[in-house]
Amino acid sequence: MRIWAISDIHVDFRENAEWVSALSDDEFRQDVCLLAGDVSHQFDMLTQTLVQLRRKFYRLFFVPGNHDLWIRGEHWEHSVEKFEAILQFCRENAIDTQPALIEVQGKSVCLYPVFSWYHQPPQENSLYLPKPGEDPTNRMWSDSYFVRWPATDFDPTEYFIRRSNSPVSFLEADLVLTFSHFLPRQEIMFSGPMVYDPERMKKYDRFPQFNFSRVAGSWQIDRFIRRMGAKIHVYGHQHINRDRVIDGVRYIAHCLGYPEERRRGTVQGARGLRQVL
């Protein structure tokens, strides 16, 4: 058995849907896939893709991303209702959204899905870092238009972290591997030291007024996964693939991303799944 990771497959794009369809129906039959969110904002396309992937793997673990909770002409009153409907669909179709203990290469491994969201500044757990020339309103950010919460004072990050708590103990695991859609800490937004590089910005950043760190994730996620004893954490959302070890935890991002990102080279090494174990 092997464990593979992927995120941000965005099957609303034909090329990405074709990539999913082209995955071998036989090669991964004994393997596990961790899908770290952002499949599609369309519920039917999301569920069809989950079923398609489930048939290709021994087990499929999934956490929703922000795009999966968008409401664009659908009947949901708010995004929490849609989130719960996604979890119900997963339960009915043998798609894992809860922690589980599996045997991998002679090791007992706890796979722990972490539901998550982001804290925005000035919220205490925000991953925000100032960016020269940014638009503080983040008007480009689509969540502001397509995500709805049940109340104005609703804290989605707190809600999703609370929903991630499992009553089952996994103390017997040789390894705890967690995964979330959103980022758990600031450093992993960068390949190295957190330095603003205007020349790199000119080359790669098509939207210099947009500050991703405002909506990247939450320190609360990192505290949670460390409390769970994670040694490996897989995440998505940023559309940049990374592999870094920070304070004893290995952070891995491996997304498919948008077709245009792959053509520009801003998403690299995403032509296949990423083997984690």
Nearest by Cα to 97 from 127, 60, 68: 60
What is the pLDDT at residue 191?
80
**Separation between Cα atoms, residue 54 and residue 56, nearest integer Å:** 5
**Separation between Cα atoms, residue 238 and residue 255, nearest integer Å:** 9
- Is the per-residue pLDDT at 242 higher than 90? yes
Q: How many CB atoms lie within 10 A of CB 28?
A: 19
Q: Helices in 23-78 by DSSP H: which ranges?
A: 43-56
Number of domains in the chain: 1
Amino acid making up residue 170: F
pLDDT category at 271 given cuts 50, 70, 90 is: confident
CATH classification at residue 220? 3.60.21
Q: How many CB atoms lie within 10 A of CB 80?
A: 19
Nearest by Cα to 211 from 241, 189, 192, 193: 189
What is the pLDDT at residue 197?
63
- Is the per-residue pLDDT at 198 higher than 60? no
Global confidence as pTM: 0.94
**Residue, of 266 and 231, whose pLDDT is higher:** 231
Domain ranges, residue 164: 3-275
- Is the per-residue pLDDT at 52 higher than 90? yes
Q: Do the beta carbons of residue 122 and residue 196 sit within 8 Å?
A: no
Tokens at 152, concatenated: 């104005």
Share of the chain above pLDDT 90, in %: 83
Q: How many CB atoms lie within 10 A of CB 73?
A: 7
What is the pLDDT at residue 75?
93
What is the pLDDT at residue 132?
83
- Digit-coded pLDDT (tens) for 96-143: 999 999 999 899 999 999 999 999 999 999 999 998 889 999 899 999
- Is the per-residue pLDDT at 196 higher than 60? no
Q: Helices in the chain by DSSP H: which ranges?
A: 14-22, 43-56, 79-92, 143-146, 156-164, 198-204, 219-227, 259-264
What is the pLDDT at residue 153?
93
**Separation between Cα atoms, residue 83 and residue 184, nearest integer Å:** 20
- Digit-coded pLDDT (tens) for 139-168: 999 999 999 999 999 999 999 999 999 877
Angle at 68 between CA 183 and CA 81, to 5 degrees: 110
Q: Where are the beta strands (DSSP E) in the chain?
A: 3-6, 32-35, 59-62, 100-104, 107-113, 175-179, 232-235, 242-246, 249-253, 274-275
> Quick check: bond before 193 cis, omega within 30?
no
What is the pLDDT at residue 170?
79
The whole-chain average pLDDT of the chain stands at 93
- Digit-coded pLDDT (tens) for 207-220: 888 999 999 999 99
